[in-house]
Structure 1
Amino acid sequence: MGSLKTLVKKAKKGDGEAFVSLVKQYEDVLYRTASRMLNNDEDVADAMQEAIISAYEKLHTLKNNEYFNTWICKILINKCNSLLSKNKNILMLNNDVIPDKRNDEFQKIELEEALNSLNEVYRLALILYYIVGLNIREMSEFLKEPEGTIKSRLSRAKVILRNNYYKNKGVTAYEK
């Protein structure tokens, strides 16, 4: 498949197969991100398609090749937000958000409800950190906000979940 930097360089020179390889490497992350932000599979497919096309057209604007994942996720999140504003949709989470260790249907519903109750900045912070897998520094660059703000949002989101939904259970079980 080739290294990330090599694939990005090839794709920037017009190699379509290299771009396809790049997208395939991040397809699962893109899908999980979009599916947590949008209500239905059609919107997820539309957002992913628009993000991939946009990324292909604007690949030359990517300054640091090693941040391809962050860059394409940002494009996708912008496409999702655009769809949400256009359709006035409400953020929904799929059942597959729950770790495989927890098969109890009640716990899945409870966690989904808890995450959907968070305001958008806290929910986005949790999605970027736990689902997309960005670290604090990458999130800071991505959201163009200080690292302290990002850490604070993650911490507050966990406290809100712990206090409102998981008293005596410990939210730390869901941390990386």
Structure 2
Amino acid sequence: MERLVKKAKKGDGDAFVQLIQQYEEVLYRTAIRFVKDEQDTADLLQDTILTAFERLHTLKKNEYFHTWLCKILLNKCTSLVKKKQKTQVLDLPNQLLEAADSFKDIELADALNSLSDQYRLVFTLYYVVGYTTKEISTMINEPEGTIKSRLSRGKAILRDTYYTFEGVKTIG
């Protein structure tokens, strides 16, 4: 991968396309979880790729290309969500329910939505998208210990909040 980054930095468009193709699915899953709309997701991906291409020369360590690319995407997602909140009331629980394909997805969406923004972001990146605590730490400029703490506290919140019908905790 680092070889492709070096080639892309030297202006090799094919190398850049190969890099993007490696992360296309992860980028899509991350964006759709945040914006819940196919059209917005497509726009975000296109904007992220264009920004990455234009700013590739600013990447200091080639081995962090993936993290750098995801950070660009997260910034774009955050900006879009904030922009939409200014123009309309964002009803995230209903949007999540509409997008859910199964009962399990509905439960996950409901659980994630019950968390505050700081916990929801970390939970989504860790459990839904599959990033490591170190990668999340780099993406959102927080110490890795803070990320681990948010995961732990978020689990405790969910453990105390969600129960099965029999009274047994479902998360834990």
Q: Which residue in the other structure is 2:171 paired with? A: 171
Tell me what 1:99 maps to.
none
Match for 2:100 among 92, 95, 98?
95
Q: Which residue of 2 aligns with 1:59?
A: 56
Query: Which one has the bigger helix percentage?
Result: 2
The answer to which of 27-36 and 163-172 deviates more is 163-172
2:74 maps to 1:77:
yes
- Give per-residue Cα distances to partners, 1:10-59, cap 9 Å, x unaligned: 10001111111101100000000000000311111111111110000000
What 5-or-longer segments of structure 2 have no aligned partner?
none
Where does residue 104 of structure 2 map in the other structure?
Answer: 107
1:136 lines up with 2:133 in the alignment:
yes
Measure, in 2, the Cα distance between the counterparts of 1:80 and 1:121: 15
Pick aligned residue for 2:156 from 136, 151, 159: 159
Deviation at 1:166, TM superposition (A): 4.1
Using the size of structure 2 for normalisation, the TM-score is: 0.85
Identity %: 58
- Partners of 1:70 and 1:134 within 8 A in 2: no
Partners of 2:137 and 2:148 lie apart in 1 by: 9
Structure scoring higher RCO (CA < 8 A, sep ≥ 6) equals: 1
SS of the residue 1:110 aligns to: helix
Q: Distance in 1 between matches of 2:9 and 2:91?
A: 36
CA RMSD of the aligned region, Å? 1.8
Q: 1:7 corresponds to which residue?
A: 4
SS of match in other structure, 1:150: helix
Give the one of 36, 40, 43 matched to 2:40: 43
Q: Which runs of 5+ in 1 are unaligned?
A: 97-104
Mean Cα displacement is larger for which, 57-66 or 140-149?
A: 140-149
The CA distance in 2 between the partners of 1:90 and 1:68, in whole Å, is 34
- TM score, norm. by length of structure 1: 0.83
Find out whether 1:21 has 2:13 as its counterpart. no
8 Å Cα contact 2:162/2:170 also seen in 1: no
Alpha carbons of structure 1 residues 90 and 50: separation in structure 2 relative to 1, 3 Å: farther
Structure 1 residue 171, shift from structure 2 partner: 3.0
Q: Matched residues in 2 for 1:23 and 1:107: separation?
A: 31
Q: For residue 95 of structure 1, what is the amino acid of its counterpart?
A: A
